[in-house]
Structure 1
Amino acid sequence: MFGTSGIRGPVGTEVTASLALSVGRAVASDGYDRVVVGRDVRKSGAVLTDALTAGLRECGADVLEAGVASTPTVARAVPRTDADAGIVVTASHNPAPDNGLKLWAASGKAFDPEQLEGIAARLEAEEYDLQPWDGQGSSDPLPDATERHAAALREAVTVGDPPSVVVDVGNGTGGLTARVLSAIGCDVTTLNGQRDGAFPGRPSEPTRETLADLSALVAATDAELGVAHDGDADRMLAVDETGSFVPKDVLLALFAREAASDGDTVAAPVGTSMAVDDALATVGASVTRTRVGDGFVADRAARPGVVFGGEPSGAWIWPDETPCPDGPLAACKLVELVADRGPLSGLVGSVETYPIRRRSLEVADKAAVMERVRDRVRERYDDVDVLDGVYVDADGGWFLLRASGTEPVVRVTAEARDTARAEQLEADAVAVLEEAIEACSEPERRSDRDGVRRTEPLAPDRC
């Protein structure tokens, strides 16, 4: 039920008021007595929030209502108010028909797998501690959540010569970024600034393709950079002063290099470009790789010596500030970097990048195929990591084979320091994957029993 980023899916089928009610009941019944609740701008969020709040209160939890607010705003409010948990009704960067719920621990970090398993078990068993009329929880507004977040952002950066910035809010909850940047002296222009859960301006997820309007506007004006958020503003991506999209791994490298110094470590998922390793090497720092998902990055970023965590999807974590990916904070940090170090295009150019190849192959049984891939790769390569998928550190590069968490495909990524080597690694990875797919699609196998040759169905666990 819970993916790497909570519950998400189409409203009315997978995500319903009944589900929200049950999640509220489960969270309160599991001992979370004081819970901050907020939601993004999606129209369905009002009904889901009402149901969620009813479930929490019905099982004795007191609710602090943050209203419509960014996900990092809600996450930050949890430790500040001494709450036991926080829940955001959001589908983040998913399209308008979707919604979901994301749970936050008392520290302001996403629920860890054990916490989620506890909630999922209650949901499965429908084991709720329903309270009598005089034991139900209260509900109080939390009107200052966004203002407190804004104040923390202003304190987190020092911008001596504020640049001009275009902020693409994406019709979501990221308007906070424009307000804070304006307050610290930036000349701010907003794009898609009206809150609208139908996301009429562009799709909620910021990508090179969906940020075409932002790129064009920055290129046509004297803006020094443009920043963009997804629907709940936990992500931030950027374009430079020429309107060129800043590659995600390069943005990660810039943030990491600025945050780290000699001996420090930065958390990033498997599949992160070697450009990040090389950028950190210039300041004597290194990368520790995690499973894919900002929750796993946040877990690693909480360890001693880890000064920054980033996922190229656009989730950036400064653990000394907050354990939650914070898009507005990332936007402020990038503005500070440009004000201090010069044009963003120049900063981007200072990060050496390498040829990278990506493709996906459709598979019928991801688990079986990936098991076969692991076996074959271990037979052929010495330096193999199976933390998340199958990662091979090969001479002059690497490749990663990883099953999608949402689609019936296995994704192939390969990178090397020259194009020929990247293409060779991609071909090697694809060959291994195709062999595994073929092996797992054989409908029958031959066997001999009692001297009689016959055919038998291939057992699913033996492909």
Structure 2
Amino acid sequence: MFGTSGIRGPVGEEVTAALALDVGRALGIDCGRVAVGRDPRASGQFLMDALTAGLRESGTDVLDAGLAATPTVARAVGWQDADAGVAVTASHNPAPDNGLKLWQPSGQAFDESQREAIARRVRESESGLVPWDELGERVEVDAGERHLDALRDVDIDGSPSVVVDLGNGAGGLTVDALQALGCEVETLNAQPDGAFPGRPSEPTAENCESLRALVAASDAEVGLAHDGDADRLRAVTDEGDFIPGDVLLALFAREAVADSDVESPRVAAPVDTSLAVDDALAPQASVTHTRVGDVFVAERATESDVVFGGEPSGAWIWPAQTLCPDGPLAAVQLVALAADRPLSERVVEVDTYPIRRESVEVTDKSGVMARVEERVLAEYDDVRTLDGVRVDFDDGWVLVRASGTQPLVRITAEARDGERCGELFAEASAIVETAREE
């Protein structure tokens, strides 16, 4: 029922009002107060109503943040002294989808054991319904204002010009925060609309062409882009160039390390993160790899020497503030960097390397991966099986990993030299092909 990013899928098929009701009942068994909010998808209101009904009939009070960014909902759990939070969102997924993501008071998403407990209760129709005179209340809360106050703590020099592409999502708080900090802000796709008419929800380079063109043609110092629920942030330099995710991770991480007083700090990032991040941080800090997914990055970020966590897809975590990926926080942090020194200058200081990625269709993911792991462990020395099978070399690495949702095995190879990258990719591809044919 749960993926690493909560419950997601097509509305009316995998995600229904009945499922939201069941999740509310399951969550209400041991929660007295739950914060809820939603992104602007058309299905969001009835799913939140169903979720709320399940909570209230379990005796749980509901703190309704209404239309709100997912990080606002996640932060509200602690601010409102709630036991849990639920964001009704499919994040960067397309308009036909929706979902539910559950949050702890720390701002961290529900971990694997918590997700499984909810899934088991739903499967077994377990609930704790209360009499009519013990029903929970539904109270509207303004969590956005508290989130805005937290963002005002970031110092931005001068009055930089910023273009923000909200992607018709729930990230309007970013505009409010930047204006409160003295920035001149121009917006794209600012009207919340869950059909995402301006561009697809995920802020990829391809989907941010209008943002790139506007920044390049203006005097803007940075362009920012959110997904539908504003937990992700991607960016464009002052010259209109889209910043690769690994490079943006390196920029954020270097600044977090420089601001930290932790001895031997670490940065949490997924196992498929580029060597560019390792090299940008050395020797001041090191990268600690996690499974792919911001949930796993957040779990690692709970360790005291981890000062920053991020995924190149656009999820950025400052654990001293919150354990949820916070797009508006990332936005104001990046504008602060751009105001201090142009992003175009910062980006060229991060070395990047040849990297190849390919997906291979298979009929038996688990069988193929088991055979790949067996052979790799037998033939190579520096092997990790944290998430798939990764082999590290002095000059590069390869990763073979099964897709979490599709019948695919993904192959990634990176090296500091293009020819070597090709060699590593060919080795890994041959191993996968042999495992697929066995």
Matched AA of 1:271: D
Tell whether the 8 Å contact from 2:221 to 2:339 is kept in structure 1 after alignment: no
Q: How does 1:82-161 map to 2 (within 5 A)?
A: 82-142=81-141, 144-155=142-153, 157-161=154-158
Tell me the distance in 1 between the aligned counterparts of 2:294 and 2:31. Answer: 23
Tell me the distance in 2 between the aligned counterparts of 1:381 and 1:108. Answer: 39
Q: How far off its partner does 1:119 sit?
A: 0.5
Q: How far off its partner does 1:136 sit?
A: 1.4
Tell me the distance in 1 between the aligned counterparts of 2:288 and 2:274. Answer: 13
- Partner-residue secondary structure (3-state), 1:402: strand
- Residue deviations 1:190-216, cap 9 Å, x none? 000011000000000010100011001
Unpaired runs of 5+ residues, structure 1, are: 440-463
Question: Which protein is bigger by CA-based radius of gyration?
Answer: 1
Tell me the distance in 2 between the aligned counterparts of 1:357 and 1:16. Answer: 38
Tell me the distance in 2 between the aligned counterparts of 1:431 and 1:238. Answer: 36
Tell me the distance in 1 between the aligned counterparts of 2:401 and 2:159. Answer: 42
Verify: 1:325 aligned to 2:322, yes or no: no
Equivalence for 2:215: 218
Q: How does 1:56-75 map to 2 (within 5 A)?
A: 56-75=55-74
Q: How far off its partner does 1:178 sit?
A: 1.1
Matched AA of 1:165: V
Runs of 4+ in 1 over 4 A off after TM superposition: none
- Residue deviations 1:100-132, cap 9 Å, x none? 000001222100111111111101110111111
Tell me the distance in 2 between the aligned counterparts of 1:410 and 1:56. Answer: 39
Tell me the distance in 2 between the aligned counterparts of 1:187 and 1:151. Answer: 19
Tell me the distance in 1 between the aligned counterparts of 2:74 and 2:177. Answer: 18
Tell me the distance in 2 between the aligned counterparts of 1:255 and 1:276. Answer: 10
Identity of matched residues, %: 66
Tell me the distance in 2 between the aligned counterparts of 1:40 and 1:245. Answer: 25
Q: How far off its partner does 1:323 sit?
A: 0.7
Verify: 1:228 aligned to 2:229, yes or no: no
Q: How far off its partner does 1:182 sit?
A: 1.2
Tell me the distance in 1 between the aligned counterparts of 2:16 and 2:130. Answer: 23
Tell me the distance in 1 between the aligned counterparts of 2:394 and 2:273. Answer: 17
Tell me the distance in 1 between the aligned counterparts of 2:317 and 2:7. Answer: 21
Give the aligned CA root-mean-square deviation in angstroms. 0.8
Tell me the distance in 2 between the aligned counterparts of 1:62 and 1:124. Answer: 24
Tell me the distance in 1 between the aligned counterparts of 2:389 and 2:257. Answer: 28
Q: How far off its partner does 1:162 sit?
A: 3.0
Equivalence for 2:175: 178
Equivalence for 2:410: 411
Q: How far off its partner does 1:395 sit?
A: 3.5
- Residue deviations 1:337-373, cap 9 Å, x none? 1112x11111000101111111110011111110010
Equivalence for 2:270: 269
Equivalence for 2:309: 309
Equivalence for 2:354: 355
- Partner-residue secondary structure (3-state), 1:352: coil
Question: How many correspondences in the alignment?
Answer: 434
Tell whether the 8 Å contact from 2:268 to 2:300 is kept in structure 1 after alignment: yes
Tell me the distance in 1 between the aligned counterparts of 2:280 and 2:240. Answer: 23
- Partner-residue secondary structure (3-state), 1:260: helix
Q: How far off its partner does 1:293 sit?
A: 0.5
Tell me the distance in 2 between the aligned counterparts of 1:241 and 1:358. Answer: 29
Equivalence for 1:457: none
- Partner-residue secondary structure (3-state), 2:2: coil
Equivalence for 1:443: none
Verify: 1:401 aligned to 2:400, yes or no: yes
Matched AA of 1:393: D
